[in-house]
A = this chain, B = another copy of it.
Amino acid sequence: MKLTILGSSSALPTSERFPSAHVLNVHERLFLIDCGEGTQMQLRKYRIRFSKINHIFISHLHGDHIFGLYGLLSTFNLMGRKNPVHLYAPQNYQGILLSHLNDFDISPGFEIDFVPLSGKEPLKILDDKYVTVTSFPLKHRVPAFGFLFREKPHDRNIIKEAIEKYNIPIIKIPAIKKGEDFVMNDGTVIPNDTITIKPPEPLSYAYCSDTSYFERLSSFVKNVNLLYHEATFEADLKDLAESVGHSTTHDAARIASEAGVGTLIIGHFSARYKKTGNLVEEARTIFPETYPAREGDTIEVGKPFRPS
Contacts and interface: CB of A to CB of B under 8 A. Distances in A.
Interface of A: 11-15, 18-19, 37-38, 40-41, 44-45, 47, 61-64, 67-68, 70-71, 74-75, 78-79, 96, 99, 103-106, 142
A63 B67 contact: no
A45 B47 CA distance: 21
B67 A103 contact: no
B104 A37 contact: no
Contact of A37 (B37, B62, B64, B78): B37
Contacts of A142: 105
A71 to B, nearest CB: 4
Contacts of A40: 13, 37
A40 to B, nearest CB: 6
**How many copies are assembled?**
2
Q: What 4 pairs across the A-B complex have the smallest Cβ distances?
A: A37-B71, A15-B44, A38-B38, A96-B103
A224 B105 CA distance: 34
Given A11-B75, A37-B38, 20 more contacts: A11-B74, A11-B78, A12-B78, A12-B79, A13-B75, A14-B44, A15-B44, A19-B71, A37-B40, A37-B67, A37-B68, A38-B41, A61-B103, A63-B104, A64-B74, A67-B67, A67-B70, A67-B74, A96-B103, A99-B99
A205 to B, nearest CB: 26
Contacts of A105: 61, 142
Contacts of A68: 37
A303 B57 CA distance: 50
Nearest to A18: B41
A200 to B, nearest CB: 35
A47 B104 CA distance: 31
19 contacts: A11-B75, A13-B40, A13-B71, A15-B41, A15-B44, A15-B47, A37-B40, A37-B68, A37-B70, A61-B104, A61-B105, A62-B104, A63-B106, A67-B67, A67-B74, A96-B103, A99-B99, A99-B103, A105-B142
A304 B142 CA distance: 53
B37 A13 contact: no
Task: Please indicate which of the listed interface residues A37, A74, A96, A142 has the most CB atoms of chain B within 10 Å of its own CB.
Answer: A37
Nearest to A43: B15
A12 B64 CA distance: 21
A71 B18 CA distance: 12
Task: Please indicate which of the listed interface residues A12, A41, A74 has the most CB atoms of chain B within 10 Å of its own CB.
Answer: A41
A80 to B, nearest CB: 11
